[in-house]
Structure 1
Amino acid sequence: MSGDVRFAVLGSLEVTVGDIWLKLGGPVPTRVLTTLLLEPGRMVPVSRLVEAVWDDSPPRTAEHQVRKAIADLRQRIPDGGALLVTEGPGYRLAVDPENLDLSRFSLRLRQAREAQESGRTAEAADLLRAALALWRGPVLGGSGGSVIAAASAVLEERRLAAVEQLVELRLALGESGELLGDLRQLIAEHPLWETLRGHLMVALYRSGRQAEALEEFRTVRDLLVEELGIDPSPRLTSLYEGILRDSPELAAVAPAVREQREAAPAEQPPATAPQSVTAPCTLPHDLTDFAGRDRELRRLLELAEPPEGDAVRIVAIDGMGGSGKTALAVRAAHRLADRYPDGQLYADLRGFTPGERPRRPAAVLGALLRTLGVPSERIPDDADGRVELWRATLAGRRLLLVLDNALDAAQVRPLIPASAGCLVLVASRNRLAGLDGADWLSLGTMSPSDSLELIRAALGAERAAAEPRAVAELSALCGRLPLALRVATARLCSRPRWTVRYLVERLDDEARRLDELTSGDHSVEATLRLSYQALDDEQRAAFRLLGLHPGAETDALAAAALLGVRPREAEDLLEHLLDMHLVEQYEIGRYAFHDLVRSFARRLLGQQRREERAAFGRLLDYCLAVTESACRTLYPGRARIGERSSTATAFQLPRLKDAVRAEEFFDREHVMLLAAVERAEREGFHHHAVHLARNLVFHLNSRSYLAEYLHAAGVAVAAARRLDEPRTLCLSLTNLSAVLWKLGRFREGIAAVSEALELTRRHGERGQESICLDQLGLLHSCLGHLGMAERYLEQAVALHEELPDGRQRSYAWCNLSTVYAWFGRYEDAAAAAERAALLCQGSEARGEEIIALTDLATARLGMGQPAAALVPLERALELGDESRMPENLALTLALAAEASEGVGAVERATQYAAESLRMIRSKGTATRNATVENVLGRFHRRRGDYPRALALHTSAHGHAVAVDYRMEIARALNEMAEVLEGMGDFRQSGVHRQRAYDLFKEMGVPMNASLMV
């Protein structure tokens, strides 16, 4: 990550990382994220997010689409899993207030109000200017639906109130002439705003323009009578009368008087009694370079406020080793020291101290009593007696006690005073659930901004500013763990010749990272090892095995498979590790290692290699079983190959009872599954690698994650070669060729599928042979070998007719329909597409049906039948979902724009065209970009928008040339000729026309056929 993720919602939505602007996808994720940003830190129910996206007309799949949008945002936004938190029935955006313009806006307004109340007028004005500078317009530009519009209206009222307050402050500071331009502009936007009119009258009067001030009153009076039928307010009328008589109250405050007022304190705080010189203080020193944690410190100080009644205040801070618990507790203790005049005591309970046993409560009490001046001879020997004396000694006293490094609640409980005037701060790596009456503050890793602040404080602002990108990477590599950041910066400070980039490169090797994060007696690994050693033998073994999990997070079912235990046992173990802060939880039921803890767990591997291999095999069995279950639900017609692992049924699987649950599983786990495929192939689990990759690529294809699809397919081919299973290798090669086609790597795809065809014919696999012929026809057609493509596809169709797989037959008919359309044989193309669509009806092949319907519409448009084309297009749009193959939906929308214009539905056509372009630009391949942009370019040319048409065809030509997509190259050239001719550039038009003609002739395509898709 190159820097903090920053959000701007006061205007059009902007999400940036450093100088990089993130694309958020379509309107659904945009409105979902905007709604969460409008309520930062609060849980927003899914039902409200649905309302924000669709108002009163949500589709049947609205909740599912919202959850998909959340999943997509987590992928697009760095640290999205930590930012977008699932909470109860909704989601919460855990964004640092400094990284959200709305939060900064609210903070500046609050600071301005406080400054004004304290008489700091100039400071208040500056704060208001800073707040208003954040404003770029209404939320989402005013196009966000009723829910967002209502919130935007509230924010607009706050903005206008701030504007009014700033004007008042500027008048109070003696400005008059400088204000006139701003006031006139504001009044032009809000002509009936009486308060601003009054301020303008005062500014004019103080500028020596009394007549204009009086005229301003007459203008607003006439406007109010005409528009609203009312007279000006008494306040405005009184101001008018004051100007008439030159009231001295309207004169500006003299600068000297104003400065004197601002210099005087608004209120003197009451004097506090001096602390007794005999009150003991054993607190460690407060860190001079303490940085960040402002939000946590504020929360800790709030929790430390004295309770009502006679109870002692207890605040417990828990967090993983190295999270800065002690530093935070000590800083808070120093801030609170003057409230506890009878002493501020610190005790290290050594719950997690290398080479030492935890201190017994009786020993700690003896030391504390002696610190308070109790003679040793009066301190009882037994533990109960010491507890009684401790509580009696503190009766009626106000004392602050910091108990650091606590092991458990049993160690802490005897040390709690009984006096209501005392405060106890406890710091522990464990969540001390048995500590009754305590308030809790769980300390996680630092926010991105806080971690950068810590680095700047340690290195110095100048050194940090010299390498901002490397500093951000250092923060990420240290997992924003305070101890790791302090160790890393200490190494840099002790080695002034080292650059931050040099240390980042050393830390980039995960195998060495923990070694690098050691400086003197500070070591991240040593700190983590203390928590690990506090586990029992069984828990330590499980912790090591969890390091085998290839994902960022896991659940109890996957952990149970990995550990070879029941899910309830796995969940209990994970919950214990959560209490120990050895795992984290961002979502209920999901557990994640911190990056450095994962590195530590993986460093422990290798002690029991046979046990570890068996555990990873169990996890692969589990993953294979779950993905098989999901694929059976989502893709019921797919062919089965090979034998599945028989041990998979030994594990409890998640209930993927419908398509929504199955898709949610793949959306959440596809990154982990891809890592599992890679590791399975690397470690010799070739069977798992092939079959798991095959299951995964179905999902990657549907979501258009083509880079991941290509990688998984390549791994599957490598593993299949080692298995020596021809049918498995053939299927893996055809999967690979499919993604190579999508990516425009046609010749590589032909090589892969040609090898597959040879294998199928050698072993008599008729079903696979038909698929290979189909793919060869498709790939050759893209290279302009249309005659060859037609022969392959007609062979494929004939062979498919002998076989039961309707989905594959549908693909072949669709590909043949495309070639017929390119030849100008639109009736044949329509018949082929109709046959494909018929094969898909009544099945779960929604994506295939959309393609068939789109091809049918293409043929009907070629025959000059826009009304008939709209019928299949509207059906395809009903079936379509932007989350599944958005590039295909973009083509459907582009054709719908063309057909709608053909029937005179101009407004609808314009909407379709805009949505198609947005979709293809956000997530389209080179081949599909070329096709869609050529269709949209033709659409805009026919409407007379030649510049836009030319830009689209030029872009399409670039995309097509990049992958040698011959038909779209020729079509782009031909359409560019049409556009240039319409613009009067006949010379350049002729050049493009000749090049198009040569390509069409080479492919055997008649020129009139080139006008259609």
Structure 2
Amino acid sequence: MRRRIPGIGPLLATDGPGYALVIDEDQLDLGRFDAQVRKARTAHETQGPREAVELLHAALELWRGPVLSGLEGSVIDGAVMAVEDRRLTALEKYYDLRLDLGEAAELVSDLRGYVGLHPYQEGFWGQLMLALYRSGRRAEALAEYGRVREQLAEELGIDPGPQLIRVYEAILVETPEAAGPAFARPAVPVPPAPEPVAAPGVPRTLPCDVADFVGRDSELQLLLADARRRDRGTRVVAIDGMGGVGKTSLAVRAAYQLCADYPDGQLYIDLRGYSPQERPIGIDTALEVLLCALGVPRDRIPDDVAERTALWHATLAGKQVLLLLDNAVDQSVVSRLLPNSHGCLVLVTSRARLTDLDGAEWVHVDVMPPGESEALVAELLGAQRIDTEPEAAGELARLCGHLPLAIRIATARLSNRPRWSVRYLVERLSDEGRKLDELSSGERGVAGTLRLSYQVLSADCRATFRALSLHPGRDVDVHSTAALLGLSTREAETHLEKLLDAHLVQQPDVDLYAFHDLVRSYARSMCGQQPRESRGAAVERLLSYYLTATETACETIFPGRSSRITGLHASPALLPRLTGVDEAHAWFSRELITLLSTVELAADMGYDRHAVWLARNVAFYSNAQGNLHEFAALGRVAVAAARRLDDPKLLGMSLSNLSVACWKLGLQDEGIAAVEEALELAVAHADRHTQAHGEATLGLYASLQGRFEKALAHLRAAIALERDLGSPRAEAESLTVLSALYEKWGMFTEAAESAERAVSLVRRLGQHETALVALTDLALAHTGLGRYATAEQHLAEARDLCGDDREPGQVAVTLALSAELAYRRGETERASAFADRALALSGLSASPLRRARVESMLGAVWEHRQDYTTALQLHTRALETARSFGYRVEEAYALAGMARVAVLLGDAEVAAGHRSAADGLFAELKIPVARRPATEPVVVHALSTVSSFSPAPPACDALAGSGAVVGYDTVRDAARETGAVPR
């Protein structure tokens, strides 16, 4: 046992021929429970019931299920019964104290559970009856007594005990003891108004105000303001919102606060527009109920509806009455119930806005803001439970969709299951398949509430509601909905607007529609009951629509892109306007998350060909935006789908695209394996487009590894193929890679020629994201040739292209080069601005290769700024990044920079080490000495520099006399103070 059970050693003692567990009371759950109960008893006597309740709650929290579950025997059974009796005694005391504290409605569900589990425990029955009575449910409380009396007589042949009989009698005659002690609840944002005492004969049929009403301050104030305007006759204020959002609770709260303004009566009727298994109440029944409430004897109410209506109006004449019409669905019924006398108020609640209800002021109630929904969770569960799991409580509110009904059901489940933690329920709700089951309680539940809204829809709208759950987007527009349903955009919009009116969808923006999370779950459950064939047809229509739309958008944004035959039919659905570049960009940006989900949907549902081509189109946009991880993920989905199709051409294309994403992310092993397989497939199946792309990509990898001659061969082969195929876009991209290769090799003339050709091609194509790269490469080549003015011209043009839609790493390269060139031209202030922006953007790039390049370039810039500490940090970061991804040429550049900075910092030994390492790498890369970056700082001896200025600057005298080694900039700046210029 000591070997097998960690930590048992100190507890296991040898006792004669056997062993004993030596355990203190506080090491056992049961011991801690007994101690907490004793503390609660003492706290009740000395501090009060609130402290006792908290201690008892902590004691009961220790229970995780039946004691000694799964073990049998008479001794064990006796022990279990004794321990269970202690728990039940503590439970009864716990609920007694909570009732004493004024809690009632929130205890009903708990107590119902316990009378079901312990039907002979009369204490629980008594507490349930008191909780019901104190919640305003006197009839139900008395009915519970009838149930227990019948059950005891039938099963045991006995009557209820004296204590339960006393509770029954107290409720029957409504004694003060039954009502319980007064208890002031903690303040909530909008405190419940005191219920006015009705004058004798004044009718009041309002339901009870919700005791734990939380939030809704703005909606309540708007409702009250609308209700209190007296600028015309009867006022009508209507509240609309989705099922479960709390419309009735809000209306009842407002009605109680308005009671004093309507002294002749406050009437309520549930029109049952959304009631399970019940037809809506007709006008004849509604009039009868309301007339009876006003005291009209039933035998005086006429049978004819017109006569009843006349009697209703006559009875209200000259009175100030508040009328609450709950769950309205039929505008004609509401209109005929409106009083025609001045001074009345009608509050209406409805899930669908009754647009024909003339003259009504509408107050829309949406789901609760996160802060209010979390406050409701805290109110219902209690501060003690929330304080232990604050993050889980917030997550619970989110998973409930901030819907009050869902929150109340979820917290009731937790209250009924004291062993459950909030986190445990959160985990259960995170399972999409069981979420709606978790948020149900008997007939009361989110699914049941939504079902009522669904059932009143027309058949066409129900079909639209179900089909929308197949759409992978969080937001849907009219065009994609029309494609999904196989309808015209006008028909689709009509259906969406009807769902919006019924509050089964929301409208986050103009022309966009969205499901609430719980509504989506319900729609999916309904859609799952439809034939698989119809679901598949709808999904295929949607995939075809998005494939056609992305093809059109890519043709607009990426002119000159290689045209490929997809083998799929174009969608007949009407597309949004995508012919303008700005329009296509805006559409792609808005739909990007949906498009990523659509690719996954295609792959998951077996539409592999759609998955491959959709992934290609979306990858083009993701790559251009610098979303490189998305680019790689799309490539992997496409490769897997192409393998399932066993289509070598599609597989080669997908592998080739994936290899580019891997190159940008520095994933060499995966990328090289992908491009080699792609090239092999392309050659075997005569796919020259993929062959050219593969050659270019292999050139990228060879350049990255410093194998320049091999890279040159691949790139020349790629450019020849692309020129032969008439693919100017692909040729321009390969030429920029070739220019960068020549530049790293120190062959600036050849670099300039390649970049010039690339710039010429992209200008011929029009707008092209490669233009920024080509212009920057051309500026780099001219900088290497010492043609600073020409380089600045190209950089100025490149900077004009540096918009927010560009990949941050490429923009950072352009700005870093701009900074270096500005320093060389003596424009220090401008150079600093470029450098600071480049450094900020570099951190936003997903490409480690570009980060290493920018950090190395900026290290040289910070050398110019004479901030050698920062310069060393940048070169060091560039080295670490380059080494981690095998970027050998950038590794050599970083080492050269570190050697220069070490000299400037006076550390000759470190400088020599960096210089040696850099020279070794340059030699391996076969970069001639004349074409390598300097490993020594560009410095001059001050004494020899003075004579280079005319006239000789007096400000340099001190430097000349000191014999210090200083940067050229230092001497130049000192010379400028007296107007001297370099010769």
Scaled to the shorter chain, the TM-score interval is 0.7 to 0.9
Structure 1 counterpart of 2:205, from 282, 285, 288: 282
Corresponding letter in the other structure for 2:237 = V
Distance 2:333 2:892 in 1: 80
Structure 2 equivalent of residue 815 of structure 1: 737
Distance 2:441 2:376 in 1: 17
Distance 2:297 2:391 in 1: 59
1:573-617 CA-to-partner distances (Å, cap 9, x unmatched) read 111111111111111211111111111111122321111111111
Residues 418 and 719 from structure 1, CA distance in 2 versus in 1: closer, same or farther, beyond 3 angstroms? same
Distance 1:517 1:970 in 2: 62
Please identify, of 760-769 and 426-435, the stretch whose mean Cα deviation from structure 2 is larger: 760-769
- The 5 A counterparts of 1:505-904 are 505-606=427-528, 607-646=530-569, 648=571, 650-904=572-826
Q: Mark the runs of 5 or more structure 1 residues left unpaired by the alignment.
A: 1-270
Aligned partner of residue 418 in structure 1, secondary structure: coil
**Structure 1 position 912 matched with structure 2 position 819:** no
* Superposed displacement of residue 988, structure 1: 3.2
Q: Any conservation in 2 of the 1:867–1:902 contact (CA below 8 Å)?
A: no
Q: TM-score, normalised by structure 1?
A: 0.71
**Structure 1 position 997 matched with structure 2 position 915:** no
* Superposed displacement of residue 728, structure 1: 2.0
Structure 2 equivalent of residue 111 of structure 1: none
Aligned partner of residue 361 in structure 2, secondary structure: strand
Q: Any conservation in 1 of the 2:823–2:864 contact (CA below 8 Å)?
A: no
Distance 1:747 1:629 in 2: 34
Structure 2 equivalent of residue 116 of structure 1: none
Residues 743 and 392 from structure 1, CA distance in 2 versus in 1: closer, same or farther, beyond 3 angstroms? same
Aligned partner of residue 300 in structure 1, secondary structure: helix
Corresponding letter in the other structure for 1:403 = L
Residues 413 and 979 from structure 1, CA distance in 2 versus in 1: closer, same or farther, beyond 3 angstroms? same
Q: Any conservation in 2 of the 1:553–1:591 contact (CA below 8 Å)?
A: yes
- The 5 A counterparts of 1:113-152 are none
Structure 2 equivalent of residue 410 of structure 1: 332
Please identify, of 776-785 and 798-807, the stretch whose mean Cα deviation from structure 2 is larger: 798-807
Distance 2:197 2:416 in 1: 42
1:882-901 CA-to-partner distances (Å, cap 9, x unmatched) read 21223211211111111122
Structure 2 counterpart of 1:298, from 221, 229, 254: 221
Q: Any conservation in 1 of the 2:699–2:710 contact (CA below 8 Å)?
A: yes
Corresponding letter in the other structure for 2:502 = M
Corresponding letter in the other structure for 1:307 = R
Residues 873 and 557 from structure 1, CA distance in 2 versus in 1: closer, same or farther, beyond 3 angstroms? same
* Superposed displacement of residue 428, structure 1: 0.8
* Superposed displacement of residue 1012, structure 1: 9.2
* Superposed displacement of residue 963, structure 1: 2.3
Corresponding letter in the other structure for 1:327 = S
* Superposed displacement of residue 685, structure 1: 1.1
Structure 1 equivalent of residue 977 of structure 2: none
Residues 410 and 963 from structure 1, CA distance in 2 versus in 1: closer, same or farther, beyond 3 angstroms? farther
* Superposed displacement of residue 404, structure 1: 0.8
Distance 2:364 2:370 in 1: 17
Q: Any conservation in 1 of the 2:627–2:846 contact (CA below 8 Å)?
A: no
Aligned partner of residue 868 in structure 1, secondary structure: helix
Q: Any conservation in 2 of the 1:821–1:1012 contact (CA below 8 Å)?
A: no
Please identify, of 782-791 and 509-518, the stretch whose mean Cα deviation from structure 2 is larger: 782-791
- The 5 A counterparts of 1:135-174 are none
Residues 894 and 530 from structure 1, CA distance in 2 versus in 1: closer, same or farther, beyond 3 angstroms? same
Q: TM-score, normalised by structure 2?
A: 0.73
Structure 1 equivalent of residue 147 of structure 2: none
1:276-299 CA-to-partner distances (Å, cap 9, x unmatched) read 343222211111211121222122
**Higher Rg of the two aligned structures:** 2
Aligned partner of residue 347 in structure 2, secondary structure: strand
Residues 273 and 855 from structure 1, CA distance in 2 versus in 1: closer, same or farther, beyond 3 angstroms? closer
Distance 1:859 1:431 in 2: 67
Distance 1:543 1:307 in 2: 41
Corresponding letter in the other structure for 2:328 = A
1:941-999 CA-to-partner distances (Å, cap 9, x unmatched) read 11101122223223323333332322222322321232232122333333333333333
Corresponding letter in the other structure for 2:229 = P
Residues 273 and 995 from structure 1, CA distance in 2 versus in 1: closer, same or farther, beyond 3 angstroms? closer
Structure 2 equivalent of residue 101 of structure 1: none
**Structure 1 position 934 matched with structure 2 position 934:** no
1:206-228 CA-to-partner distances (Å, cap 9, x unmatched) read xxxxxxxxxxxxxxxxxxxxxxx
Structure 1 equivalent of residue 22 of structure 2: none
Q: Any conservation in 2 of the 1:397–1:419 contact (CA below 8 Å)?
A: yes
* Superposed displacement of residue 274, structure 1: 8.1
Structure 2 equivalent of residue 330 of structure 1: 252
Structure 2 equivalent of residue 463 of structure 1: 385
1:401-440 CA-to-partner distances (Å, cap 9, x unmatched) read 1111111212211111122211111111111101111011
Structure 2 equivalent of residue 3 of structure 1: none
Residues 666 and 425 from structure 1, CA distance in 2 versus in 1: closer, same or farther, beyond 3 angstroms? same
Aligned partner of residue 802 in structure 1, secondary structure: helix
Corresponding letter in the other structure for 1:608 = P
1:763-782 CA-to-partner distances (Å, cap 9, x unmatched) read 22333222211100102221
Q: Any conservation in 2 of the 1:858–1:1012 contact (CA below 8 Å)?
A: no
Q: Mark the runs of 5 or more structure 2 residues left unpaired by the alignment.
A: 1-193, 936-983
Distance 2:635 2:375 in 1: 44
| Residue identity (%) | 48
Q: Any conservation in 2 of the 1:930–1:957 contact (CA below 8 Å)?
A: yes
Distance 1:387 1:991 in 2: 102
Distance 2:723 2:499 in 1: 58
Residues 783 and 544 from structure 1, CA distance in 2 versus in 1: closer, same or farther, beyond 3 angstroms? same
Distance 2:476 2:932 in 1: 52
1:782-812 CA-to-partner distances (Å, cap 9, x unmatched) read 1233332222223223333323111111111
User: Which of the pair has the greater relative contact order for Cα pairs under 8 Å at 6+ separation?
Assistant: 1
CA RMSD in angstroms, aligned pairs only: 2.1
* Superposed displacement of residue 647, structure 1: 5.2
Distance 2:262 2:749 in 1: 91
Aligned partner of residue 976 in structure 1, secondary structure: helix
Structure 1 equivalent of residue 297 of structure 2: 375
1:639-697 CA-to-partner distances (Å, cap 9, x unmatched) read 1222453351x211112120111111111111111111111122121221111111111
Q: Any conservation in 1 of the 2:896–2:934 contact (CA below 8 Å)?
A: no
Aligned residues: 741
1:270-321 CA-to-partner distances (Å, cap 9, x unmatched) read x999863432222111112111212221221222122313x21111111111
Distance 1:430 1:562 in 2: 25
1:347-392 CA-to-partner distances (Å, cap 9, x unmatched) read 1111111111111122112111111112222222122222222222
* Superposed displacement of residue 324, structure 1: 0.9
Structure 1 equivalent of residue 366 of structure 2: 444
Corresponding letter in the other structure for 2:230 = P
Distance 1:428 1:344 in 2: 19
Distance 2:299 2:580 in 1: 74
Structure 1 equivalent of residue 405 of structure 2: 483
Structure 2 equivalent of residue 921 of structure 1: 843
Distance 1:273 1:545 in 2: 50
